[in-house]
Structure 1
Amino acid sequence: MNALVEAVLAQHGRERPALVGEGFAHSGRETLRAVCARAAYLGDRLAGAAYPHVGLLLENTPAYVWWLEAAALAGATVVGVNPTRRGADLLRDLTHTDCALLVTEARLLPLLADLPLAIPVLVVDSPEAAEALTPYADAGPPTTVPAPRTRLLLTFTSGSTGAPKAVVCSQGRLARAGDKLREQYGLTDADTGYACMPLFHGNALMGLWAPLLLAGGTIALRRRFSATGFLADVRAYRAGYFTYVGRAVSYVLATPPRPDDAENPLRLGFGTEAGAVDAARFEQRFGCRLVEGYGSSEGGCNLRQDPAAPPGAVGREGSGPYDDLAVVDPETGEERPRSRFDAAGRLVNGEEAIGELVNRTARAGFEGYWRNERAGAARLRDGWYWTGDLFHRDADGWFRFAGRSADWLRVDSENLAVADIENILARWDSAAAVAVYAVPDPVAGDQVMAAVELRSTGDPLALAAEFAGFLGEQRDLGTKMPPRFLRVVARMPVTATHKTAKTGLREERWDAVGDDLLLWRPYGRAAGAELEYRPFTGADREKLAALFAEHGRSELIVRNRMPRP
């Protein structure tokens, strides 16, 4: 049985619209007719291809869903192409994944200009596409149903920490992931899910499209995420469910509040990295609970969400029936001691408790990376799935996210988790968005640097005093946690999937901040002035460079000085 294909075919009997959005509403019958025509076209067009891979360079439109579901019927594989990629990077994505056909739309054609593409391109809103599909207009469902193990997706990782990898996802795995969410959140054919996250990424596909398709519900599409259009959309489409990433939530919260914000049909949002502060603010303002999950496109380790979770916890068991999750030393594989907290809620044994989250069930749900065996082997070592993410686990078994593998700081010989610091800084009322990352210390280890997007601008000295005063009020702020540097950015850099892009921030440090305001706590201040901030000047930069040179660490501050494009 292939549950995903059955759900696609079941749209024939839908009375409610299957797809709604900006100027369109398509019934289930209309949707299936469009899907079957495209499935028949793919069957013929890809018959002689080495791999039946079709790239979708499309925004969130009905065409994306039609071609995605057509691939499911035809046994083809969809490569979700990121429209923010350019030039050689975009060409690499298409060639690396062995695309035999690229489907795009006229407004995105400029992205392909001057690229030496060796594959045919079908422009969905062109006369040529209409002509190509005409012979298949009356095609019915295929007579042979693809097996659940058939590869459906090659989904690129977010690319926030390096070149994106193409994650393999079968029809069966996607159906299982979607059905878990459908059941867990009680989604039915009466529900509408609002797809404001890009469909080329796993967040929208696994978290929204699959569960709503399996439930027989309606999917509301937004071409591209809009914070200002968010509330109007969910009201217009009567959407009760949506998926998110943390940065998107912060953008919605940054819109001007209105007294009727809570008058909306939303009941649940599912996503990642919103943070406890923003989640509470969102529920208070919009009357909608955000449920934080932990998982990845790879599928090797997913934590089951639990409404009873204490603040900051994600879950305490895996979502699979045979998962065996643990926090271990990434070098030795030995399980880390359980985390402990003081009366103020500060983690008191992070040095020994924080480690890498692993699934000790062989392979778990991970199906590999396309043409990247080395990266796949790094995920699967000694029969375990290694997430590359930092966690700690308390005495009651609750797992708490501590950051990505790159989000680890060592300040004065003490290991710190970026996520812990970000959660504290997110409480600052003046901050619309916060990112914390490591920068080198002139003597040894790291220092804490934070970038902040403000809700409004003001006098730098007043801002410095306000920030220091805020830090002084945080009882759970450890003595090593206050940022050495605070960069005020006009807009937090994000990836195409709205995750914070820290790579550029780390590389720029205090060197390539442009016109951004940069505050810092100078070295050598008296203990009583520990939390005093002032603007970072050219003279400060020279003195800091001399300090690095004095300790033989100059090479740490001359690398990667090129600013972000």
Structure 2
Amino acid sequence: MGTQGATVAELVQARWADHRPGLWFEDEVYSHHQVTAAAAARAALLADLLPRGAEAHVAVLLDNTPEFPRWLSAAALAGAAVAGINPTRRGAELARDILHTEARILITERAHLPLLDGLELPGVRVLVTDTDAYAELLKPYEGAKPGEHTVGEGGPRSRILLYFTSGSTGAPKAAICTQGRLAAAGQSLVRFHGVRLDDVHYICMPMFHGNAVIADWAPALAAGAGVALRRRFSASAFLSDVRKYRATYFTYVGRAVQYLLATEPGDDDRDNPLRVGFGTEAGAVDARRFAERFGVKLVEGYGSSEGGASIQRTADTPPGAIGRATPGDDLAVVDPASRAECPPARFGPGGRLLNGDEAIGELVNRGRNPFEGYWRNPEADAARVRDGWYWTGDLFYRDAAGFLYFAGRTDDRLRVDSENLAAAMIENILARWPAASAVAVYAVPDPVAGDQVMATLALSAGAASFSPSDFARFLAGQSDLGPKMIPTYLRIVDRMPVTATNKVHRVALRRTGFRCADPVWWRAGASSAYRRFSPEDLAGLLGRYREQGREDLLGR
């Protein structure tokens, strides 16, 4: 099954003699051989263009077009690395990302040229893929063969990716991924999902992000499967694309699944060739709805973007759990302050977590450490690996059988009335409300101490309007919803604000809090009923914050 290789370059070279269709984009079709030949030409071009002594890095500012996988393969063949650039970044932040990678060549397209207007990018040569000049530049290299032109040493320890990971604070960090790790990840997913030669992987998540490359492109390459590209994710075009390309596999992150579920249902939704969807943050409720509607199983996985820890799902994984530690990893859920391992979770009726305050902690890897570091960021390296342990920055709890349950990011922990709560757990409960297409839960400061729970709800297309009484009845029927989990504030939106990778834009939601233009409902005092949050309510509440000296906490 697939091709064994210690490096991505070996996996690319294995497709040289493969003349089957291997890449689809809109109405274009390319064979595996054509993709490999195009990669060899770009590797040769890179060898000529890269200044002597420069880092072997190429910045790529592209949508999901054929040029993106061509340059990934070219970098592998040349012993270079691709730095994916997020096109939603702007101005000085965008320039900072490009310059931070130390790339001397930037690959982009005409659609993104306006983003570069006015930016100072000293020493960076810009190549625009959809131009005659680019085609002319490549012509002399069209006869190149894989392995003829290199700029780096290559090998398993050679860098292949610099991909930015976002956090709640500070500039994005560029995580390093080597050829050995990417090849191993692809081959592992081939085995796990049973990827076959005749499979087609639909890549609709942005390729500047690790999910699309590591979890979608790499296993397709390792198996010799085909790849179908969507320039940008489109919920309305998803099914038609899947049918057009006969796609069998796709990946997702963040709220993509909710957007797909929010499309108009059709009688033929289950008439599709998909076999599996693999990703994270769909939630158990939406995964069930997706399987019922489309007949496709969603497999929730977990692997830290930097490669420091992973969790493997097995057939006996209970509902709500991600799985157990991958063999060889010594994963533990610990209290960050004491470094003591948290006790196992205890569950009550309806699966309610009874001891979340003591059972929820940060997931760490105390064993072998596959983390390869961040580019030129020793402070971030030191924060990620402390005393020989890899700290994921993610909250989990573990049951008595060793199964691990995701509870959110460490930034998503809430402390309500001296009790620690995890946003992800509350979200999974609120997601059961039929009128919601997406849910986000986060903390807002309490006027006196600790936090209060706030939720943003995006209504589904069939919901006429928000009914506070219906929502209150729904909450009362959730046996696993503890009283401190009930949101104090509800923000109602037509569409959930998301980042470029379709993850909820929690930073923006937390900063805005209840001071927003969208309708907000709240439970005032000890009341269990929701009512509209008025300008008078806001003025009175801000006065309470000022009295307690906590107004400066709002908007952080």
Give SS of 1:419's match: helix
Matched, 1:469 2:477: no
Matches within 5 A, 1:5-20: 5-20=9-24
What is the CA–CA distance in structure 2 between the aligned matches of 1:117 and 1:194, rounded to whole Å? 34
What is the CA–CA distance in structure 2 between the aligned matches of 1:180 and 1:280, rounded to whole Å? 26
Matches within 5 A, 1:531-542: 532-542=529-539
Matched, 1:485 2:489: yes
Matched, 1:222 2:230: yes
2:521 counterpart (519, 522, 525): 519
2:99 counterpart (95, 98, 101): 95
For the 8 Å contact 1:269–1:291, the answer to whether it is kept is yes
What is the CA–CA distance in structure 1 between the aligned matches of 2:462 and 2:221, rounded to whole Å? 44
Partner of 2:68: 64
1:38-82 Cα offsets, whole Å, 9 max, x none, are 011111212514201110011101111111100100011100011
User: Which residue identity is paired with 1:348?
Assistant: L
State the shift of 1:126 in Å.
1.2
What is the CA–CA distance in structure 2 between the aligned matches of 1:218 and 1:447, rounded to whole Å? 48
What is the CA–CA distance in structure 2 between the aligned matches of 1:479 and 1:281, rounded to whole Å? 27
Give SS of 1:142's match: coil
For the 8 Å contact 1:159–1:495, the answer to whether it is kept is no
1:166 counterpart (157, 171, 174): 174
State the shift of 1:12 in Å.
2.0
The aligned length equals 548
For the 8 Å contact 1:407–1:437, the answer to whether it is kept is yes
For the 8 Å contact 1:11–1:18, the answer to whether it is kept is no
Matched, 1:355 2:361: yes
For the 8 Å contact 1:234–1:264, the answer to whether it is kept is yes
Matched, 1:549 2:546: yes
Residue segments in structure 2 that go unaligned for 5+ positions in a row: none
Partner of 2:213: 205
Change (3 A) 1:25 1:293: same
Partner of 1:30: 34
For the 8 Å contact 2:416–2:450, the answer to whether it is kept is yes
Matches within 5 A, 1:22-421: 22-118=26-122, 119-143=124-148, 146-159=154-167, 162-318=170-326, 321-362=327-368, 364-421=369-426
TM-score by length of 2: 0.96
State the shift of 1:349 in Å.
0.4
Segment drifting more, 40-49 vs 242-251:
40-49
1:174-231 Cα offsets, whole Å, 9 max, x none, are 0111111011111011110100101111101010100000100100000000000001
Change (3 A) 1:325 1:502: same
What is the CA–CA distance in structure 1 between the aligned matches of 2:168 and 2:335, rounded to whole Å? 24
Residue segments in structure 1 that go unaligned for 5+ positions in a row: 561-565
Partner of 2:431: 426
What is the CA–CA distance in structure 2 between the aligned matches of 1:501 and 1:459, rounded to whole Å? 25
TM-score by length of 1: 0.95
Partner of 2:445: 440
For the 8 Å contact 1:155–1:297, the answer to whether it is kept is no
What is the CA–CA distance in structure 2 between the aligned matches of 1:524 and 1:73, rounded to whole Å? 65
For the 8 Å contact 1:243–1:269, the answer to whether it is kept is yes
For the 8 Å contact 1:158–1:496, the answer to whether it is kept is no
What is the CA–CA distance in structure 2 between the aligned matches of 1:112 and 1:347, rounded to whole Å? 50
For the 8 Å contact 1:160–1:495, the answer to whether it is kept is no
What is the CA–CA distance in structure 2 between the aligned matches of 1:524 and 1:549, rounded to whole Å? 21
Segment drifting more, 386-395 vs 121-130:
121-130
1:263-305 Cα offsets, whole Å, 9 max, x none, are 1001100000000000000000000000000112200011112
State the shift of 1:162 in Å.
4.3
For the 8 Å contact 2:435–2:462, the answer to whether it is kept is no
User: Which residue identity is paired with 2:353?
Assistant: L
Matched, 1:451 2:450: no
Give SS of 2:83's match: strand
1:336-371 Cα offsets, whole Å, 9 max, x none, are 100000122110001111100000014x21100011
User: Which residue identity is paired with 2:548?
Assistant: H
What is the CA–CA distance in structure 2 between the aligned matches of 1:59 and 1:524, rounded to whole Å? 50
1:500-550 Cα offsets, whole Å, 9 max, x none, are 110011011111x11x1110001143xxxx2x1010001111111222233
What is the CA–CA distance in structure 2 between the aligned matches of 1:32 and 1:21, rounded to whole Å? 16
For the 8 Å contact 2:456–2:491, the answer to whether it is kept is yes
For the 8 Å contact 1:158–1:495, the answer to whether it is kept is no
What is the CA–CA distance in structure 1 between the aligned matches of 2:188 and 2:27, rounded to whole Å? 32
State the shift of 1:449 in Å.
0.1
User: Which residue identity is paired with 2:18?
Assistant: R
User: Which residue identity is paired with 1:445?
Assistant: G
